[in-house]
Amino acid sequence: MKKMILLLAVVAFCSVTAAVAVPPGKTLEFTKSPMGKVIFSGQIHKDAGVKCMECHNKDVFPKMKFGTVEIKMADIYAGNYCGVCHNGKRAFEAKANCNRCHVK
């Protein structure tokens, strides 16, 4: 019985941390660019008033799972992925601000 309670406690604890370990509290690191890695902060986006659904919908980032989209700058400039907002209107423009996303 004690073992059972312990097991339940562990399961409950894991599901709580799993629910917390997502954006906004989390950062994602995109490391594939020669321009330097891109650190995406869920918190900054939440604080800027961006809703989950604005990004997590079938046209932008369909899956809440890191690594399911491959982001190229051509897509961003064309207004896809990060470029849905980083176009100088909703948020700073990608073309003129490489180093606000890419850090060495």
Note the residues at the interface with ligand HEC (CB under 6 A): 22-24, 28, 30-35, 38, 40, 42, 44-46, 48, 50, 52, 54-56, 60-61, 63-69, 71-74, 76, 81-82, 84-86, 90-92, 94-95, 97-98, 100-102
* Angstrom distance (rounded) from CA 28 to CA 51: 17
Minimal distance, residue 70 CB to ligand HEC, in Å:
6
Residue type, 45: H
Burial class (CB in 10 A: 0-12, 13-18, 19+), 55: buried
What is the nearest approach in angstroms of ligand HEC to the Cβ of residue 2? Answer: 33
Pick the closer one to ligand HEC by CB: 3 or 49.
49
Q: How far is the CB of 56 from ligand HEC (least distance, A)?
A: 6
For ligand HEC, which is the closer residue by CB, 6 or 14?
14
CA-closest candidate to residue 61, choices 88, 83, 87, 93? 83
Between CA 41 and CA 45 the distance in angstroms is: 7
- Closest approach of ligand HEC to the CB of residue 57, in Å: 10
**What would the two tokens of residue 74 be?**
């051509």
